[in-house]
Amino acid sequence: MIETQIISTEKPKLTKPICIVGLPGIGNIGRIAVDYMVHEMKAKKFAELYSPFFFPFVIVHEDKIHTLRNEFFYTKSKDGRDMILLIGDCQTYDPKGHYEVSGKILDFLESLGCKDIITIGGFSTGALKDKPKVFGVVVDDKDAKALKDKGIETKVSGQIGTIVGASGLLVGLGKLRGMGGFCLLGETSGFPIFTDPNAAEGVLEALKNVLGIDIKLDKLKEKVEEMHDFIKKLQDVQTQGMQEFKPKKNDEELKYIG
Amino acid sequence: MIETQIISTEKPKLTKPICIVGLPGIGNIGRIAVDYMVHEMKAKKFAELYSPFFFPFVIVHEDKIHTLRNEFFYTKSKDGRDMILLIGDCQTYDPKGHYEVSGKILDFLESLGCKDIITIGGFSTGALKDKPKVFGVVVDDKDAKALKDKGIETKVSGQIGTIVGASGLLVGLGKLRGMGGFCLLGETSGFPIFTDPNAAEGVLEALKNVLGIDIKLDKLKEKVEEMHDFIKKLQDVQTQGMQEFKPKKNDEELKYIG
Amino acid sequence: MIETQIISTEKPKLTKPICIVGLPGIGNIGRIAVDYMVHEMKAKKFAELYSPFFFPFVIVHEDKIHTLRNEFFYTKSKDGRDMILLIGDCQTYDPKGHYEVSGKILDFLESLGCKDIITIGGFSTGALKDKPKVFGVVVDDKDAKALKDKGIETKVSGQIGTIVGASGLLVGLGKLRGMGGFCLLGETSGFPIFTDPNAAEGVLEALKNVLGIDIKLDKLKEKVEEMHDFIKKLQDVQTQGMQEFKPKKNDEELKYIG
Amino acid sequence: MIETQIISTEKPKLTKPICIVGLPGIGNIGRIAVDYMVHEMKAKKFAELYSPFFFPFVIVHEDKIHTLRNEFFYTKSKDGRDMILLIGDCQTYDPKGHYEVSGKILDFLESLGCKDIITIGGFSTGALKDKPKVFGVVVDDKDAKALKDKGIETKVSGQIGTIVGASGLLVGLGKLRGMGGFCLLGETSGFPIFTDPNAAEGVLEALKNVLGIDIKLDKLKEKVEEMHDFIKKLQDVQTQGMQEFKPKKNDEELKYIG
């Protein structure tokens, strides 16, 4: 495999689809939020993405080989917009890979008629909160107002300097193709926990509000518990891979969001 | 050379061929096991693989330049399945290279009508054993039963977290193309020895069992002795190359978000 | 995105255009000098360059996502030569990327009929000067005389050993395509300041002289003040990215120009 | 520039040309030996090679920008074989780049009808010798005899383990295309001197013998003196580039030939 590739099992006909992206990142907030949506909305898987920019190993899960991948699901809606849900085992460790993977995802979304993309991630503030905030980072001023009306914090400049990886690039590069969208970032402590269901709940509440969809969140924590083993394994693998395959990082602490 | 390339001297017509892969790795178990099969079964070489993702030097062996390569052999069978045997001087040091090399090998195997692949490697347990175990890691549950019936341990989840490099990717990426297969891993101490003939013998016994082939193993240790010099040289070169060309590994834990 | 790409909103018809390049570098001299020219000459933006070799994150500026880019502007002249002004948020961190980005810029300039290129950078001398010197580094001897006549120092061999990144490559690789040009380097202290308006002023004076253009420089410092926040953010991001994504640099001091 | 490219100013018609390669390496033996041949034989330059895998900076030499390159020259012979002489400012720092550059050179040589290649390098033995040895490393046994008859040491296995970079790959990869050739390595101390004219003289003597050509070597040391400044600059730049752009090397000493 020389380039990132997406293998579809079906080409769904979707009405004005909007894509919600939950890739691994700080607190795995996007990953668990969108995974929960997949389960609750009974979304149907229709494509997988594989990349030579993912770590060059397979993980062993439930006694079987699992090749690292991202997965596309869709939901059909009777009265609203259809949705494409994207979750992933990993992001690439490679700077150039982030651009390639993001570009391939955008190509694929365009081919499905998708013109809007919302990426979900975490924003580490170093503090534990009962009611974590949700930040919205837009590409167009008009979206800022709409988000603010739903109670989402869009004054972010002082606090958020960069958004690393696919979460930022998908929205930023999407705009160059005429796609709209924003990042929804759940406030999280940044302490070394690998899932933050509280922050995920906050983000899902915000998303329900913004999209006008109805998902019950009462089973979220239970689901996160179930995902625990697999996500921990992915996290361990990610850590192992970073040590094995990534150029050395400096000692200084780096602020980082994703 | 910009991409990995395979140079064939012959295009053999093979009946339902199954590919057995023995690339360098821990204890060089796959390498010596499949090398032994090549010698014992008088397999015929028909292709070589070269890659820009291999180390950028040639080794000097028996006063001659030897360019790093992987080699394909085949055997014809009167009453069973033909075999393709793949052995290699090295694996790539480059994460992206693992995907490219594995993809090229799978393309080539497909062009030969090969639909099954067994990769052989080692699994380090940190303990010396008289009778080392053999583990089988499958991609499909149905294979697990067949292996278990032959006495191969397929309950591996607690013990094996990842399979690094081509051994895992060939099986994992093969599945995406509709190929079957599994990894056969010989238990080895992981102590700094560069060949473990004991573990290789265990794996070959398992393979004989699974494939129903007849190979005498009594000359294995003698052969390993003969291969000693060349494999030690490859190992040294690998070590040198890793120091020279690979990003340095960190000792510290790395925080990662993305 | 797999290759660097340039997205044009307009294809201007330009008369014998000359390109002035101001990319980030030491003291950000080129960046602020050419940015000032854009403002003062009311140059019109007509294209943007994006690259997978830029850092894989977006920056958050004024509460919005800003994808890293370089920008092309043009000015029309009644009695002289039209100009293409190129400014950038960043340069690539990747050695191979410098060649790709420079090549793509040269392809684009050629398609616009541009045959001359002047890149602007800084040259760190480690000393504070009231009246910093301006150095000109040519590819052809004939240009040296013309520059010397305008009071620009072209005897540089003892002082300048290399020119790193796009500033040097654009001129050097341009020559292979029959393009003329030179680097104009403003002397700067190299102390950790991120903009050096004094050096930029020196370079702009030299450029006015060479090109015979009329730009008032009295608002330069005020403009630099305005750009301060955005450039500081880019600088921080660059620093962060270097730590995160670039192989570790040795402790020894490296002379650097760009 | 995305791939290594060769720019020709002429397509010479050559009779059974043989290529002699002198790229930078330990003691710069190949570089100065072949450079001397170019001068003495009044060889004519007809092509240049540029690569995105070279360091991303230009060097400033004699007050002018010099883009890093390799250069092809040819000589015509009345009664023997024509020659292609290849010298270079640098080799790539990138493992994959070595394969790309070597492949492009071989493509080019093939297009010129060249079927034989001799690369010249140094071999560090850690000892000063009045009369340094010359080693020949072949790809085919038949060449070994011919070299031995000319007094060149071809029993090298105990002493030389690897040949790093283009010197080895050009011969090794050339063989895959049906080209003949060998590496000629001059014994050098490996002490930190950047040119070893003694070793270069030894290699040139051997080459005269092997090729049956007549070059006077009495001006060699004088020429090396003249080349001193430029080669020192290239060496410094190489060192600087390695620190700047290459993954950090381990502390342990690595044996190196090239």
Give the pLDDT confidence of D22-66 residue by residue, as tens digits. 999 888 999 999 999 999 999 999 999 999 999 999 999 999 999
- By the 8 A CB rule, do D85 and D71 touch? no
How confident is the model over B210-219, as a mean pLDDT? 92
Task: Give the three-state DSSP class for D230.
Answer: helix
Instruction: Select the residue of C7, C63, C65 nearest A168 (Cβ to Cβ).
Output: C65
Disruptive mutation site among D5, D51, D96 for chain B (greatest number of B CBs within 10 Å): D96
- By the 8 A CB rule, do A153 and A217 touch? no
User: Which residue in A214, A133, A146 sits closest to A180, CA to CA?
Assistant: A146
Pairing of strands C18-22, C83-88: parallel
Residues belonging to chain A with any Cβ–Cβ distance to chain C shorter than 8 Å: 3, 95-100, 102-103, 137-141, 144, 154-157, 160-165, 168-169, 171-173, 175-176, 182-183, 247-250, 252, 254-256
Quote the pLDDT of residue C250: 36
Quote the pLDDT of residue A247: 47
Residues of chain A contacting B255 with CB distance shorter than 8 Å? 192, 256
User: N- to C-terminal Cα distance for chain A?
Assistant: 27
Instruction: Report phi then psi at A180, rounded to 5.
Output: -95, 175
- Stated as kind and residue range, the H or E segment containing D111 is helix D95-111
User: Could you tell me if residue D246 is inside a domain?
Assistant: no
User: Could you tell me if residue C246 is inside a domain?
Assistant: no
Long-range contacts of D154-158 (CB under 8 A, 24+ apart): D154/B63, D155/B63, D156/B60, D156/B63, D157/B60, D157/B61, D157/B62, D157/B63
The residue range of the domain holding C20 is 5-241
Quote the pLDDT of residue C246: 57
Would the CB atoms of D95 and B233 count as touching at under 8 Å? no
- Stated as kind and residue range, the H or E segment containing D6 is strand D5-8
What CA–CA distance (Å, rounded) separates C179 from B155? Answer: 66
Alpha helices in B150-219 (DSSP H): 166-176, 197-211
Quote the pLDDT of residue B75: 97
- Give the pLDDT confidence of C4-54 residue by residue, as tens digits: 999 999 999 999 999 999 999 888 999 999 999 999 999 999 999 999 999
Chains that touch D (3 or more CB pairs under 8 A): B, C
Would the CB atoms of D250 and B248 count as touching at under 8 Å? yes
CATH number of the domain residue A198 falls in: 3.40.50.10900
Residues belonging to chain C with any Cβ–Cβ distance to chain A shorter than 8 Å: 1-2, 7, 50-67, 93-94, 233, 236-237, 240, 243-248
User: Could you tell me if residue C21 is inside a domain?
Assistant: yes
Chain A / chain C CB contacts < 8 angstroms: 109
Would the CB atoms of D58 and C172 count as touching at under 8 Å? yes
What CA–CA distance (Å, rounded) separates B64 from B82? Answer: 33
How confident is the model over B99-111, as a mean pLDDT? 98
Confidence of residue B249 (pLDDT cuts 50, 70, 90): very low
ipTM of the complex model: 0.91
User: Could you tell me if residue A252 is inside a domain?
Assistant: no
What CA–CA distance (Å, rounded) separates D28 from C33? Answer: 42
Residues of chain D contacting C172 with CB distance shorter than 8 Å? 58, 65-67
How confident is the model over D152-167, as a mean pLDDT? 91
What CA–CA distance (Å, rounded) separates A200 from A209? Answer: 14
What CA–CA distance (Å, rounded) separates C52 from C57? Answer: 10
User: Could you tell me if residue C200 is inside a domain?
Assistant: yes
The dihedral built from the CA positions of residue D89, D91, D97 and D98, taken in this order, carries a sign that is positive
User: Could you tell me if residue A232 is inside a domain?
Assistant: no
- Stated as kind and residue range, the H or E segment containing B71 is strand B70-75
Quote the pLDDT of residue B27: 87
User: Could you tell me if residue C220 is inside a domain?
Assistant: yes
What CA–CA distance (Å, rounded) separates B158 from D187? Answer: 54
Instruction: Select the residue of B56, B61, B245 nearest D169 (Cβ to Cβ).
Output: B56
Instruction: Name every residue whose Cβ is closer than 8 Å to that of residue A228 and which is 6 or more positions away in sequence.
Output: A195
User: Which residue in D28, D22, D21, D23 sits closest to D195, CA to CA?
Assistant: D28
Residue of D nearest to C172 (CA): D67
Q: What is the rounded average pLDDT for all residues in chain C?
A: 89
**Nearest-CA distance D40 → chain B (Å):** 31
Instruction: Name every residue whose Cβ is closer than 8 Å to that of residue C129 and which is 6 or more positions away in sequence.
Output: C187, C189
Kindly report the pTM of this predicted structure. 0.93
**Nearest-CA distance C48 → chain A (Å):** 10
Quote the pLDDT of residue A192: 65
pLDDT along chain A (258 residues), means of 10: 97 96 92 96 98 95 95 92 96 95 98 97 84 93 91 90 94 97 92 82 94 92 86 80 57 33
Disruptive mutation site among A5, A7, A21, A58 for chain B (greatest number of B CBs within 10 Å): A58
**Nearest-CA distance D157 → chain C (Å):** 35
Question: How many domains in chain B?
Answer: 1
Pairing of strands A70-75, A83-88: antiparallel
Report the largest interatomic distance among the alpha carbons of chain D, rounded to a whole angstrom.
52
Quote the pLDDT of residue A190: 75
What CA–CA distance (Å, rounded) separates D137 from D170? Answer: 13
Would the CB atoms of C62 and A157 count as touching at under 8 Å? yes
> How would DSSP label each residue in D139-190?
SSHHHHHHHHHTT-B---TTT--EEESHHHHHHHHHHHTT-EEEEEEEEE--
User: Which residue in A199, A181, A178 sits closest to A190, CA to CA?
Assistant: A199
- CA A6 and chain centroid, separation: 17
User: Could you tell me if residue A84 is inside a domain?
Assistant: yes
Would the CB atoms of D59 and C162 count as touching at under 8 Å? yes
What CA–CA distance (Å, rounded) separates B91 from D114? Answer: 32
